[in-house]
A and B are shown apart, each in its own frame.
Chain A
Amino acid sequence: MEGGVVLLDFWASMFGMRVRIALAEKEIKYEYREQDLRNKSDLLLQMNPVHKKIPVLIHNGKPICESLVQVQYIDEVWHDKAPLLPADPYKRATARFWADFVDKKMYDSGSKIWKTKGEEQEAAKKEFIENLKLLEGELGDNLYFGGEGFGYVDVALVPFYCWFYAYEQCGGFSIEAECPKLIAWVKRCMQKESVAKSLADPEKVYEFVLHLKKAYGIE
């Protein structure tokens, strides 16, 4: 493992996908190790004793935890290729703010869509769309967030796309109808090999969500 890069991950995790995209952007060779989250490996528990969660990036035998911390680490260590964060401190602050927004808002509001029904679900859908619209506003007329090349906020957000189909099926709504500009941005990102190869198949994610609903006892 010395000198090597290992990623402990779970195929459907949007957080793991962020790291896969960053590694692919930088053309870093690494070993991907799929984790069974119902039966966590000794290695996972040893490498992330605090949260016991994936993804965990292991470089030279040392673990880095938290997906955005991992993306920043990759960007710093492999700085000579495909920079993800801009150089200017104010632009970096803006990028960090919006990546933090994605962290704080997207996962919870998205999860509520498939975990709830009725009024709760309607409220979750509304919140989810409001958050996406704020992101659309920030994107503006730029090709990618930040107005430079494909970067940090794009990496933070685009993995959620492969869960959109599951949210739409569970919630009975169309995300593209509400946020066409954002979907246009997604399609642009998906043309990049690093993104297309890192995201899970939306149909498989939907199957997984149905399986989770059964396991949680949600109809």
Chain B
Amino acid sequence: MAAVKLLGAWVSPYNCRVICALKLKGIAYEYMEEDLLNKSPLLLQYNPVHKKIPVLVHGGRSICESAVILRYIDETWPENPLLPADPYERAVALFWIKFADDTTFPIAMMYLITGEEQKKAAKECSEMLETIEEHGLVEGKKFFGGDEINMVDIAFCSVAHWLGVIEEVTGLKAFEPHKFPKLNSWILNFKSVPVIKESLPDIETMLAFFKGRREMVLASKSS
């Protein structure tokens, strides 16, 4: 079996998506932490187009973009499939994965910016949560994937785990459990899955990291 390497950054939800998938499939891999302020020659070699993590390297060949990596993993190791078999259900799942890709950005942005820009990001974030609540989650279904988690649940890990941390660091509130009951249930269910618990970075470490970064941002804006 060809070796699997993951070039990542512990603090990135896109990295976390890949770790969740690798762990769910029981795939052994070597993890290499990248310093994003000082990118390694290896990263630049394996992802010359975007120069970003995560990058999966399998048998010496690189696969970039977390959504592309998730599908590659699912197709190369087909046991415990992460997408529905039915083409229509699969199309619906892929729609939500793209939605997660396109709209969960503001979560990360909320801690990097201030003032009007930050308010705009918080508003976009709220709208994103409302959409998931109204159109993405089905009452009575434990996960996006039904009774078991699938690729869509993994794709939304930033909502489940990063959002709360960013809210605490910035003081902005986009998510309120009583306003988003289905989403609230989903977050609790998702974070209770043993493999997911193992894959999510430690909250205290995340808080310290984001608080530190936030201080840097505020300092540079006031100087």
Contacts and interface: CB of A to CB of B under 8 A. Distances in A.
Contacts of B87: 73, 76-77
B63 A93 contact: yes
A180 interface: no
Interface in B53-110: 58, 61, 63-65, 67-69, 71-72, 75-76, 87-88, 90-92, 94-95, 98-99
Contacts of A92: 71-72, 75
**Interface size class of chain A, counting residues whose CB lies under 8 Å from the partner chain:** 20 to 34
A117 interface: no
B49 A101 contact: yes
A217 interface: no
Given A50-B131, A50-B135, A134-B49, A97 B64 contact: yes
B68 A62 contact: no
Interface string A36-53: 000000000000011000
A122 interface: no
Interface residues of B, number: 24
A214 B95 CA distance: 34
A93 B72 contact: yes
Contact of A97 (B63, B91, B94, B131): B63
B94 A89 contact: no
Nearest to A99: B68
B88 A90 contact: no
B95 A64 contact: yes
B98 A69 contact: yes
A13 B45 CA distance: 35
Interface in B119-173: 131, 135
Contacts of A90: 58, 61, 63, 72
A63 to B, nearest CB: 9
A77 B61 CA distance: 30
A59 interface: yes
9 contacts: A50-B95, A59-B88, A62-B88, A69-B91, A70-B91, A72-B91, A76-B87, A92-B71, A93-B63
Given A50-B95, A64-B91, 20 more contacts: A50-B99, A65-B95, A66-B94, A69-B91, A69-B94, A70-B91, A73-B88, A89-B72, A90-B61, A92-B71, A92-B72, A92-B75, A93-B68, A93-B69, A93-B71, A93-B72, A96-B71, A97-B64, A100-B68, A134-B49
10 closest Cβ pairs, A-B complex:
A89-B75, A93-B72, A73-B91, A76-B87, A64-B91, A69-B94, A96-B68, A93-B63, A89-B76, A97-B68
Interface of A: 49-50, 59, 62, 64-66, 68-70, 72-73, 76-77, 89-90, 92-93, 96-97, 100-101, 134
Interface of B: 49, 58, 61, 63-65, 67-69, 71-72, 75-76, 87-88, 90-92, 94-95, 98-99, 131, 135
